[in-house]
Chain A
Amino acid sequence: MGSFVLKRSLYSIISLVGLLVLVFFLSRLTGDPAALYLPVDAPASVREAFREARGLNDPLIVQFGDFVWNLLHFDFGESLRRQRPAFDVVLEAFPWTLCLAAITMSLVLLGAVVLGSLAAMNVGKSFDRISSVISLAAASAPDFWVALMAIFLFAVALGWVPTSGTGTPWHWILPVAVLFIRPFGLILQVVRGSMITALSSAYVKTARAKGVRQRAITFVHALRNAMLPVITVAGDQAAGLLNGAVVVESVFGFPGIGKLMIDSILQRDFAVVLAAIMITSLAIFIMNLLIDLAYALLDPRIRY
């Protein structure tokens, strides 16, 4: 187990370093960094001072050394718009996104497992057909459009929930619901598929021969084995959930890391973009590690 964690960490460090090099060289070699970091309307004197303070006249290799050294100390520089360390700005936004993703993913897993299992128990019947149409439509819907339409329908026309912002639990309903749709459609299909395989296996026949009830067979015997591929896909989707969070947070004015990232890009606040990227990759790495460990817990046959 220890060597596995070590190997995974090594791979992730390699990807992180690759990403760092990419970001650094793209930001230094594709033009004047002052033009990249500073807003378009910054005066020439500010640009010169910026260049001087950042040591942009040093050799490239020295600049790269400084860049990495600062990152290792979680020093991403000052946010240009907020006049505060970029790292603090990102740390404030991060829990919001984490909470949003956690709530959504729990609901997705719960809903997909229950509906997918029921569909697998009734293959070819109308319940199965309806659920596959729903999952297809859900996987095809552009989240930004669904978000706009949901705001129009439920917030503007019907007035059931607030249009955007945070504060009450009511504010969370629409963002969670919109974020829920796409992973739900995909995972529902996976649950159905792996559940059909599990239900036709020998141990399910044994359980049935012993006289165990169908519901117990499905949700106790088969589900545990059917969960393995589901967890893999759920892991991929959880990273994909961040894609969705960027869109959903911007539409609903939700103060998470996705909205922060888009705002910082439009305001050309490079320090915040960089800090947000680093923290997000770290979070994704930890989550993937947890998923691999959950894999081993669920299936005693897997040993790392």
Chain B
Amino acid sequence: MADTQTPTLAETHSPPGWLRLLWADKYATVAAVFLLFVVAMAIFGPSLFADLSSKVNFRGRNLAPFQFEHGWLMILGADSLGRPILARILVAAQNTMTIAFFAVLAAGIVGGSLGLIAGYSRKLVSDVIMRLADVIMSFPSLLLAVIVLYMLKPALGNLVLVLAITRIPVYLRTTRAEVLEIRERMFVQAAKVMGASTWRITFLHILPMVLPTLLTIATLDFAFVMLAESSLSFLGIGIQPPEVTWGLMVAQGRPYMAQAWWLSFWPGLMIVLTTMSLNLLSNWLRTVLDPAQRWRLEGSKETANV
């Protein structure tokens, strides 16, 4: 088998940049480009299209898609108030992405820190933290969200809070499992012998080793959180109008399903494409960050068919 010698082969060349690694996986390239487009929409969408997306036009109610005479914004059709669907999708990207981003960020930071502590502290502390994670895990995330959103107002901040809480155990468990393995390694022993404090060891020596794994999970989790937010908004207990997310747009198109399928179809398609892109990108990240798998993307033609 040639795969035992390819890593050393690759090391003799100058290490290829991550762009070349991305180019080696065509699915991941397409996914990354699409995600860049979504992020750009999330940042600039509302400032460019906010007025157009809320302009009511009763003559264009439920306008069918692919009619070019009404201008390019109407190409995906118009909703029940004659507002262009394309513009609304571009604007809704911001709320959809913001909620998912902050939920994943909060869950990652809290879960990661707790995981570091649980992995590097005494048994009692670790046990308490793990039991807490079990409590959250033992309950369907949507139900937990439902309880909290019943009592608090379904605002953007609360939605982020709820989604973050339900995702904490994922990061916590992964980080702890990694720390348990890493803490036995030589460089940690060396740091300890040199008199480094526990905080210094966990955050400066162990954390950088765990970070790539956390990043991979976060990419995958972003997709999950986005789906959860969409479900909540669809059910009417997430984001409330006049704010808009893709999930809410699907819900708003629901009563018109029989006459105008495009009201719900396009925002849902955006959710599918974004989720799929995140999954593909996460697969690619896992391959790149795993030294045993990385050669698959680095190899030339002779090594690629191993």
Contacts and interface: CB of A to CB of B under 8 A. Distances in A.
Are chains A and B native binding partners rather than an unrelated pairing?
yes
Interface residues of B, number: 42
Interface stretch (A39-47, A169-177, A236-244): A236-244
A142 B268 contact: yes
Contacts of B138: 12, 15, 239, 281, 284-285, 288
A101 to B, nearest CB: 11
B237 A265 contact: yes
**Does more than half of chain A's interface fall in helix, strand or loop, or is it mixed?**
helix
Contacts, number: 125
Interface string B234-270: 1111000000000100110110011001001100100
Which of B141, B143, B147: most chain A Cβ within 10 A? B143
Given A18-B135, A30-B151, A266-B236, A243 B141 contact: yes
Contact of B140 (A12, A30, A243): A243
Contact of A26 (B134, B148, B234): B148
B143 to A, nearest CB: 6
Contact of A152 (B143, B223, B234, B258): B258
A281 to B, nearest CB: 6
A14 B253 CA distance: 43
B140 A280 contact: yes
Interface in A247-277: 247, 250, 261-262, 265-266, 270, 273, 277
A144 B234 contact: yes
Contacts of A99: none
Which of B146, B148, B268: most chain A Cβ within 10 A? B146
Contact of B143 (A148, A151, A280, A285): A280
Interface string A27-51: 1001000001000000000000000
B142 A145 contact: no
Nearest to B236: A266
A242 B230 contact: no
Given A15-B139, A19-B139, A240-B140, A156 B257 contact: yes
B292 interface: no
A151 B261 CA distance: 11
Nearest to A132: B283
B136 to A, nearest CB: 9
A114 interface: no
Given A23-B147, A140-B276, A145-B250, A15 B235 contact: no
Interface string A137-156: 10111111100110110001
A246 interface: yes
B202 interface: no
A144 B250 contact: yes
A281 B139 contact: yes
B143 A265 contact: no
B279 interface: yes
A11 interface: yes
Interface of B: 131, 134-135, 138-143, 146-152, 223, 227-228, 230-231, 234-237, 247, 250-251, 253-254, 257-258, 261, 264-265, 268, 271-272, 275-276, 279-280
- List 10 tightest A-B contacts by C-beta distance, closest first: A145-B268, A140-B275, A243-B142, A15-B135, A140-B276, A242-B140, A144-B234, A26-B151, A142-B271, A18-B135
24 contacts: A11-B134, A14-B135, A137-B276, A140-B276, A140-B279, A142-B230, A142-B275, A144-B231, A144-B251, A145-B230, A145-B271, A148-B253, A239-B138, A240-B140, A240-B141, A242-B140, A243-B140, A243-B142, A247-B234, A250-B235, A262-B146, A262-B235, A262-B237, A270-B150
